[in-house]
Structure 1
Amino acid sequence: MSVIKYCAVVGAVLLSTSISAKQLWSDTSFSLLKGSSYELGDSDKSVFTLEHASGHTWGSTFTFVDRLHHHNDDNHELYGETGLNYNLLTPTDSYIKEFYVTPQWEFGSDANVQFDNFLVGVGVNLAVPGAKFFNLNVYRRNNDNLNNNNQLTAAWAFPFSNGIIYDGFLDMVSSFDKAPGVVSASGYNFTSQLKYDVGQHMGVEAGKLFVGVEYVYWKNKYGVDGVTEKNANLLIKWHL
């Protein structure tokens, strides 16, 4: 799908919701992570993340932007994603809460490369006991600088009554041709966070200030065969 066609589809979806759209909730947060086991490039990085999510009568949106600061070189990185889930069906008394279409835009840059990838897919929000949400999405990736491929994504959040939250995602991507005769390796990125609401003990409104750890297991990172990242990060997160 070309960028023009992609934008036309997304625009049509947004236009179709404008008459009856109503925001039900929203959340904006800032995070700071620090880790020293990154693969490909500087192993020691700090990551600043801005996230925003919102729920509407027609579905939901999600956007985040990462600024990756390298501590041993100047090749700092920017990466982000923005997308929406547009509900097609909302069954009742079912193990499926929602069935939706989910267009998404990935963008990024560093000192050497800049890219814009456009994804189109479908997904479901499953009624998993104890989960705030548990989404499964399948995408067709329209890559900017590389050949297209496929992606399967799971995302989840499990809040607990004692102020602990466990959330994360799993991205599984198929192989693709990087160049004639050069094929990337398929791989997956499992990233999860375990956080505790410390703000509740500091006079801060509950659900606002969290500390914890993020763990990343990224097999064949960026499609590079044999490069597996195992990376623990310290985390602090503030919800506005």
Structure 2
Amino acid sequence: MLTKISPFLLCALCAAPACAADWSDTALGYRVGRHYAEPFNPSYIGKNIVSLTHVRGGAYGSDYVNLDVLKSDHVDSHATEAYLLYRHTFSLGERFGLTAGADFNWKNDPGYGSKKRMLVLGPTLKVPVNGLLNVSIYALWESNRPVGVTERYHYDTHPMLNAVWALPVESGWTFEGYMNYIAAKGLDEFGTQTSPELNIDAQLMYDFSNAVGMKPGRVKAGFEYQYWRNKFGNPHRIPGSTAKTPMLRAEYHF
């Protein structure tokens, strides 16, 4: 890599034996936007999001842990959400890995109140490019227990196609992001057929570390845009099921 990339992308990159020496990175992030969307809410939502990320790796693979804490404005009932994600990638050679992990979330909005649990397992392919491009296929075992549901509901096991990239653009700049295509997961907990969802999150980030007198890779900021169709598997006809969200993003690496 020509430049330092985000912790998530480093996790994917260092599934290969090239990262034989142990290493770790911890980062505090912040992003803000005013055009978030939530299913069944027809209005734009403002959110402030703080993230704490830790990633470490070695000869046999890597670990990635990320906690997002999201605070909505009045349009989303001033809701607070926490989303915890963990991934471990086992190295299976220079170009392949096996990734396993889990997602957990909790949100206190009165309309749905998500309490998601999800297990993830699948292979990862590292594509040889100038930078990083990883492609994975996962099986997802997802469940939830929202407001009005007395027992935890388990969706059908379903696949996800995931791509992660970090590509150098100019000196100090990287084009980073991910794409998730998630197949329909059967009926939801209310008996409605779910739809396939597409989530693309792209970032153009600049390393400001030299400008503030720090080592390269310490301070990054830039622009982010997320397109999320059929969010959480809700059909496109439902208001708020498609998000088109520009954001400002900043990261500090300890």
TM-score band, normalised by shorter chain: 0.7 to 0.9
C-alpha displacement of 1:153: 0.5
The letter for the 1-side match of 2:136 is N
1:182 is paired with a residue whose SS is: coil
Cα separation, partners in 2 of 1:44 and 1:23, compared to 1, 3 Å: same
TM-score relative to the length of structure 2: 0.78
How many pairs were matched up?
211
Cα separation, partners in 2 of 1:163 and 1:184, compared to 1, 3 Å: same
2:22 is paired with a residue whose SS is: strand
Q: Which runs of 4+ in 1 moved over 3 A?
A: none
* Fraction of identical pairs, as percent: 25
Q: Could you say which residue in structure 1 is the equivalent of 2:56? A: 54
Cα separation, partners in 2 of 1:88 and 1:47, compared to 1, 3 Å: same
Q: Could you say which residue in structure 1 is the equivalent of 2:82? A: 78
Q: What is the distance in 2 between the residues matched to 1:208 and 1:154?
A: 25
Q: What is the distance in 1 between the residues matched to 2:21 and 2:105?
A: 29
CA RMSD of aligned residues (A): 1.9
Q: What is the distance in 1 between the residues matched to 2:208 and 2:189?
A: 49
CA contact (8 A) 2:73 2:79 kept: no
Give structure 2 stretches of 5+ with no counterpart.
1-19, 145-153
C-alpha displacement of 1:161: 5.5
CA contact (8 A) 1:216 1:230 kept: yes
The answer as to 2:200 corresponding to 1:190 is: yes
C-alpha displacement of 1:173: 0.2
Q: Could you say which residue in structure 1 is the equivalent of 2:93? A: 89
TM-score relative to the length of structure 1: 0.82
1:63 to 62, 65, 76: 65
Q: Could you say which residue in structure 2 is the equivalent of 1:127? A: 128
Question: Which protein has greater RCO, CA pairs closer than 8 Å, 6+ apart?
Answer: 2
1:105 to 102, 109, 134: 102
The answer as to 2:250 corresponding to 1:213 is: no
Give structure 1 stretches of 5+ with no counterpart.
1-21, 91-97
C-alpha displacement of 1:156: 1.2
